[in-house]
Amino acid sequence: MINLVLFGKPGAGKGTQAEFLKSHYQLVHISTGDVFRYNIKNQTELGKLAQSYMDQGDLVPDQVTIDMLEAEVEKNPQAKGFIFDGFPRTETQAQSLDAFLAKKEMEVSGTIALEADDDELVARLLKRGETSGRSDDQDEEKIRNRFDEYNQKTAPLRAFYTAQDKFHSINGIGSIEAITQRLMSVIDTL
């Protein structure tokens, strides 16, 4: 079983790459963003709560995210593994993920960070915001606030997973195919 965590600032290409990896390795892709959007679209209580934070350009609190993630894993008991995209974002979430997976006799196999320049990512997100309808992709100030949140809360996970010898970093700039090959070269060694 392969359980991967994809890291990267908003716009780094986690979702795009997860689609290729999901197919290649026959994994279940759990995108925190997709789970949020599903809950928001369907006006669930968790969805309404998540939307209130996202509208401010803030990350959703840990417990809301953890509750959503655990429900998604439980929906796929026969999975060969999972790609966690957008989770964990904090050390507390990482510890919760480890504890949850351990209860299911699983663990995180590896974490991979897609690294990219902030200005490149802002341009990507503003372009995505033209068609996505997402309010958090249409305002550069909100985008940069999300980057600050990432730097403060998520970037420290590098040390957490490095201590477990599970952290890998790749260049997230280039063609989709080239980035996919970089990811697969790491995953094939796990």
Whether 115 is in a domain gets the answer yes
Q: Mind telling me the catalytic residues?
A: 14, 89, 128, 134, 146
Whether 120 is in a domain gets the answer yes
Per-residue pLDDT, 41: 93
Per-residue pLDDT, 170: 96
Per-residue pLDDT, 61: 81
State the virtual CA torsion across 180, 183, 189, 190 in degrees, nearest 10.
-120
Whether 190 is in a domain gets the answer no
Mean pLDDT per 10-residue segment, the chain (190 residues): 93 92 96 84 88 83 84 91 90 92 95 94 92 87 91 88 96 94 96
Per-residue pLDDT, 190: 94
Structure tokens at 112: 């991979």
Whether 139 is in a domain gets the answer yes
Quickly list DSSP for 101-148: HHHTT----EEEEEE--HHHHHHHHHHHHHHH--GGGS-HHHHHHHHH
Give the separation between CA 59 and CA 89, rounded to whole angstroms. Answer: 9
Whether 91 is in a domain gets the answer yes
- Looking up residue 148, the CATH number of its domain turns out to be 3.40.50.300
Instruction: Report the chain's terminal Cα–Cα distance, integer Å.
Output: 11
Per-residue pLDDT, 133: 82
Residues in the chain: 190
Structure tokens at 46: 């968790």
Model confidence pLDDT, tens digit, residues 55-85:
888 877 888 888 888 888 998 999 999 999 9
Look at the chain and report how many structural domains it folds into.
Answer: 1
Whether 98 is in a domain gets the answer yes
Per-residue pLDDT, 110: 97
What is the residue range of 37's domain? 2-184
User: Which secondary structure element, helix H or strand E, spans residue 30, and what is its range?
Assistant: strand 28-31
